[in-house]
Amino acid sequence: MADDKSKRDFRDRDRVSAAEDYEVEHFAQQNGLTPQQVRNLIAKHGNSRAVLAEEARKLREHPVKN
């Protein structure tokens, strides 16, 4: 179910929804990641914005080599 953008409050500002493309893309742009990297982080660490920001920082500093 899509977010109702007419209801604006701060209940979920501390979360990033993997189901909402615009939230994933916004977080990805803010943190220098791809949307797929963000989805992978959410799957691994949950959807807490603070935790994801910290993990994104770690990922940028120490990228995984394939």
| Model pLDDT for residues 3-55, shown as the tens digit of each residue | 666 766 666 789 999 999 999 999 999 999 999 999 999 999 999 999 999 99
Cα angle 17, 7, 50; round to 5 = 35
Q: Given phi > 0 = left and psi -120 to 50 = alpha, else beta, which region is 33?
A: beta
Q: How far apart are CA 26 and CA 38, in angstroms?
A: 10
User: Token pair for residue 28?
Assistant: 């990805």
Question: Could you tell me the pLDDT band of residue 62, with boundaries at 50, 70 and 90?
Answer: confident
Q: Would you kindly state where each structural domain of the chain is located, as residue ranges?
A: 21-61
Q: How far apart are CA 34 and CA 37, in angstroms?
A: 5
